[in-house]
Amino acid sequence: MPIRPARSSSRLPSALLLVLVIAGCTDDLPRASARVVAELDDTIGGPKALLRPGDLLLENDRIRLGILGARPSLGPHTSGGSLADADLQRNDDRYSHGHGNDRLAELFSTVNMTVARVHDEGGTVAIVADGSDGGPAEICTEGPYESFITMLDGLWPLVRSPEYRIRTDYILEPGSAAVLIRTVATVVEDRDDGTGSGCDGPLGTDVAEAPGSDDVMPIIELAMETGLAFGDFYLQGGDVDVFAPDIGFDEEGYVYDLTRDGANTFQDPIAVDFLAGASEDVSYGLMAASGRLFVPMFTSSQTVAVGGG
């Protein structure tokens, strides 16, 4: 979980590594690639598919992922740069030419419950590595932060939240069933000034890890007082049956019991080793690169998982 030194603040920005796993297998030789979608036949397809020409496809010999370009999302998100489609590589012509089995609603990174603003008037989505050298393929998204939950808009000036920009890299190794999601916040004087920002090459080595935890994660304290809380909005959607260890598939009943008992999951978030979901012929999972996930919001339609800060 890297940290890029701040350009104009004494507070250090942080980064979180999360892993999205898609269950499946293949006999193809290991490979990875990233490319711009040229036509609908290039997309993944499926009941929840959002990809269109101009968006980006990240795939290897095991899984296929769709990353929205710099345009508004037609899914739960309001901006571009999200991981919108995800499916297995299927060696069956019935699933080719945009007729896949994407069941995931959408996933996008968050810092302090804010998201990167990535659309045609600002923000960047770019291929950092196309995988042609035999190594990992990587797609970067970057933009100034904005609130996803608008009721929080009035809070950040009161707690003197820093100005920052959010960069997320989706990194897919050949032969891997998991994509590495690496998120960095860079503190700046003016978040709308993109000078020196964007996706100009891979992240540098002048970074340090933002700590995860196996015990507790003080999300409210991090967001309002001492630092930055990193995670993802993990929106599996109605086609996916959500699962978590020690909770099972009944997340609604579990959250209901917590609410009835007076628990505040923002002050005391639900700690899990991973989040997962099962759907027809495909399953998904999310875990932190180290430590546990801490979940202040937990439903199939809107889940936030924090893994570092």
How do the domains of the chain map onto residue ranges? 15-308
* Residue 217 confidence (pLDDT): 86
Q: Is the pLDDT of residue 37 over 80?
A: yes
Between 151-160, 197-206, 279-288, the lowest mean confidence (pLDDT) is in: 151-160
Distance CA 287, CA 265 (A): 19
Distance CA 305, CA 240 (A): 17
Matching residue, tokens 């609130």: 147
Beta strands in 104-229 (DSSP E): 106-111, 114-116, 124-130, 137-147, 164-172, 178-187
pTM: 0.88
Q: Is the pLDDT of residue 16 over 50?
A: no
Q: Is the pLDDT of residue 152 over 70?
A: no
What single letter denotes the amino acid at residue 94?
A: R
* Residue 173 confidence (pLDDT): 95
DSSP state of 157: H
Distance CA 125, CA 128 (A): 9
Q: Is the pLDDT of residue 20 over 60?
A: no
DSSP state of 52: -
Matching residue, tokens 């875990």: 287
